[in-house]
Structure 1
Amino acid sequence: MPVRADEAALKSEVEALRADVAALKAEVAQMRAAPAAASTAPVQASPRPGSVATSVSDAGASHAGGGAPNPGTALGDGTTLWGYGQLDYNRPTSRPADTQFDLSRAVIGFNHVFDDSTRIYGELEWEHAIASASDKGESEVEQLYIEHALAPSYGVRAGLMLVPIGLLNEHHEPTQFYGVERNFVEQAIIPTTWREGGIAGYGNTDSGWQWDLGLVTSPNLGKWDPSSGEGRASPLGSIHQELQLAKAHDLSLWGRLNWLGIPGLNVGAAVFAGKIGQDTSKQFEGNVNFPADNARLQLGEAHVRWQTGPWDFSALYTRGTISDTQALNLSFLGQPTPVPESFWGGYAQGAWRALEWNRSSLVPFLRYEEFNTAAAYAERPQGPGTAAQPTQRVWTTGINYYLNPNVVFKIDYQNFHYDDALLNYGNRFDLGIGYQF
């Protein structure tokens, strides 16, 4: 073969190799842009909400993503966009006049990779369609934090973060839970979606352990409104600060430990504890001493989830206490909602993926819950304390129909042990639509 022909063939081969290298670089950049959680993509692999990691290595990858949903769309330059939304129709059987249809939430999230070890996560949320001074809607930052991996198996986060507690708080997208509404225990006792600002560490081991430790802002007991029903509906939901000019005199610690050493199994526990008085004396009723400056919150929970074949079983128990409330409740005499000394809740749930075809599936489920947002009050110094509230019991049965793993239509019926119109407790029929991308 002539020399010039050899040179031409060689140049052609070099150009082809350069094109291949460029394509590989583009593919690597796109992979780095996607959140680590997307690498496991349990929702895409199986239309079961909240699938746990299926191996120890998957557990480490999914943990690195924090509260970010699994799906996502790479926009290039290291940025990924995701989102989710939920529409709810609720018809109380005994109060049909209270029937409502609500765009309960719409969320847009983003992730940007600065380099191989540093990224930022953020989520913006709109609730109830319209946010204005005269409407009930809200516009809020749900989370916004920097994450830095110190090693493949551990790292740190700083910013506004979801509290790693329970099964739902970090993974609360509508495709991730059964039923139209989130379970009551993880709304009334654990105030999903609960977030605090601060710094936290996370990590995992080859044997399947996951851990989280954090130093963060505390709820503010000075926000308690004894004249409203907010504290009855959710004691912590009425006083958490969501990093909105949050008082940070008192801080709290959180800790969580999960074990995922067996495929499909998640066993764990978490605790959140700290002072919540926030040195409120300067702002309380004209500079008089705030009676509960030394009040402390302790909230703990234990959970288990087992997913095997078409079956999905889960259970959770949680209990919280608030100390030093006697004197504060004396200042609330005559008001309907004093501060409880203890509150608790638990549930058990089972679901069965009964039918699957193409990318669709039909999943009936059954859930039983018990919870009490005011199980006990501290005794008054001069006599008996306020009577505890009754324990609510709720049966929920329904079906999740997954059009595909990221779009779900829901129907359920909820049966309550007792009615309470103030707290929206009462037998009801629900329909819902949810999505995530």
Structure 2
Amino acid sequence: MTPTILARAIAIALCAAPMLAQASEADLIQRLDKLAAELNQVKAELAASKLKTDAVEARQQTMPAASGSASASASASISSEPQTVLSGYGEVNYNRPSKDASQAQTDVRRAVIGIQHRFDAKTKLVSEFEWEHAVTSADDKGEAAVEQLYVEREFDNGLRAKAGLFLVPAGLLNTSHEPTAFYGVERNFVETAIIPSTWREAGIGLSSTMDNGLTWDLGLTTGFDLNKWDPATGDGRESPLASIHQEGQLARSRDLGMHAAANWRGVPGLLLGGSVFTGKASHGTAEFAAPNARVTLWDLHARYTPGKWDLSTLYARGTISNTAALNQTFAGNPTPIPASFDGWYVQAAYQAWKSQDYVLSPFVRYEQFNTARSYAEMPQGLGVATAPTEKVSTVGANLRVGEGVVLKADYQKFKEEPNRDRLNLGVGYAF
């Protein structure tokens, strides 16, 4: 409906009331006829306007997909919705160990650029490109990576299908990891050491949101590669699955993984969910000592936001089966493959102060995690002691500045390794 037609329709309606109130019966009939005629004219103009709009849309759909910049500009001008959207997020963090201030450091932790292009109302491309630690070269510790790259299609029944490289829907953080989306300077340990942070796989996925508030996800993707395990370093002790994930980089695909996730939002402010991923990890490697090794990871999580409170909890557990023979070949090395690893946390945040564009939210988090809860049984004398369960307490605050910027500060205390106690400061953004 054009503004002119809409104004005329409103004028007719406004004029009708006083006219009808003062009219005699004869005048009333005559004026009603006149009003009806004018309304019919407005309806005719509306119909003509709709035909014109439909014709424009039909021409847009028949335009060649690659006819140069002129046709691209014409297509953009016809549609009021942007066809390509630029997004991004990033964070700069400062960490100061309380036991040894000489180890304090500042790091451009990451900078991410996202490009989303909508081909039509139901088909879109999602891509994200990430740079970590400021500088990427053969002599630096930086890294450049494709974080996401997939095409998604929505069908009339609400079903969505995607193919490419995408984030696995595990836990609370993996698919919502922008610095404005979580409390604290650093991402929590459970969703970093147990569930690898920004864990993505290449494959296909299906998802849908039901009328009852249930969202489900299913996928068939690449998985982990146990051939990458290095028993001589501490990478596997820091995060077992992060040390063997493939990230879409020439990913071995003899063995694929499957995942399923469900999240229910049927009550305002409440989220209940869980996920599971499983897949073999040997990829048919000849003479590999763990041909039937399987990686399984699952989690349960909840989040509740009543009023100014933001409460969340999560438990995650992973297993790597059939590793006893492979671990025997690692005898003498410090980091064999764990049979199980797990962790959990509880977190509470409260919106304590708000003034115009500023929102201050103090929070506290307590978490326990163990990256080597148990090992497969080994011959006497070859076994390795399980790792202690680390307990970390974090207290701090997030100060949101508008919708896209957050300032953060927190202090973390470690039970098993007190030399890791530290003060963290950070600034992050997302748009």
TM over 0.5: yes
Aligned match for 2:284, one of 261, 279, 287: 279
* Counterpart-to-counterpart distance in 1, 2:311 and 2:160: 31
Using the size of structure 1 for normalisation, the TM-score is 0.80
* Counterpart-to-counterpart distance in 2, 1:212 and 1:76: 28
Q: Does 1:102 align with 2:107?
A: yes
In structure 2, what is the equivalent of residue 391 of structure 1? Answer: 389
In structure 2, what is the equivalent of residue 355 of structure 1? Answer: 353
Contact 2:224 2:245 in 1 (8 A): yes
Contact 1:75 1:81 in 2 (8 A): no
* Counterpart-to-counterpart distance in 1, 2:135 and 2:144: 9
* Counterpart-to-counterpart distance in 2, 1:187 and 1:371: 10
Deviation of residue 236 (structure 1)? 0.2
In structure 1, what is the equivalent of residue 365 of structure 2? Answer: 367
* Counterpart-to-counterpart distance in 2, 1:152 and 1:178: 36
SS at match of 2:155: strand
Deviation of residue 280 (structure 1)? 2.5
Deviation of residue 110 (structure 1)? 1.2
Alignment of 1:197-212 (within 5 A): 197-212=202-217
Contact 1:220 1:241 in 2 (8 A): yes
In structure 1, what is the equivalent of residue 404 of structure 2? Answer: 406
Contact 2:331 2:382 in 1 (8 A): no
How big is the alpha-carbon RMSD for the aligned residues of Structure 1 and Structure 2? 2.3
Deviation of residue 293 (structure 1)? 1.8
Letter in 2 for 1:326: A
* Counterpart-to-counterpart distance in 1, 2:156 and 2:131: 35
- Structure 1 residues 398 and 277, CA, compared in 2 at 3 Å: closer, same or farther? same
Deviation of residue 108 (structure 1)? 0.4
Give ranges in structure 1 of 5+ residues lacking alignment: 1-9, 30-73, 282-288
* Counterpart-to-counterpart distance in 1, 2:206 and 2:168: 12
Aligned length: 365
In structure 2, what is the equivalent of residue 128 of structure 1? Answer: 133
Which structure has more relative contact order (CA 8 Å, sep 6+)? It is 1
* Counterpart-to-counterpart distance in 2, 1:254 and 1:365: 32
Alignment of 1:217-296 (within 5 A): 217-281=222-286, 289-296=287-294
Deviation of residue 279 (structure 1)? 1.8
1:328-360 deviations in Å (ceiling 9; x for gaps): 111111111110000000000000000011121
Deviation of residue 383 (structure 1)? 6.0
In structure 2, what is the equivalent of residue 174 of structure 1? Answer: 179
* Counterpart-to-counterpart distance in 1, 2:239 and 2:80: 39
Give ranges in structure 2 of 5+ residues lacking alignment: 1-40, 61-78
Contact 1:123 1:141 in 2 (8 A): yes
Using the size of structure 2 for normalisation, the TM-score is 0.81
1:261-316 deviations in Å (ceiling 9; x for gaps): 001110011000010111223xxxxxxx1101210011110000001110000000
The structure number with the bigger radius of gyration is 2
Contact 1:360 1:405 in 2 (8 A): no
Alignment of 1:77-156 (within 5 A): 78-151=83-156, 153-156=158-161
SS at match of 2:429: strand
Letter in 1 for 2:257: S
* Counterpart-to-counterpart distance in 1, 2:107 and 2:194: 23
Alignment of 1:314-325 (within 5 A): 314-325=312-323
Q: Does 1:431 align with 2:425?
A: yes
Deviation of residue 427 (structure 1)? 0.4
Letter in 2 for 1:376: S
* Counterpart-to-counterpart distance in 2, 1:97 and 1:330: 40
Deviation of residue 76 (structure 1)? 6.4
Q: Does 1:188 align with 2:193?
A: yes
Contact 2:328 2:382 in 1 (8 A): no
Deviation of residue 75 (structure 1)? 11
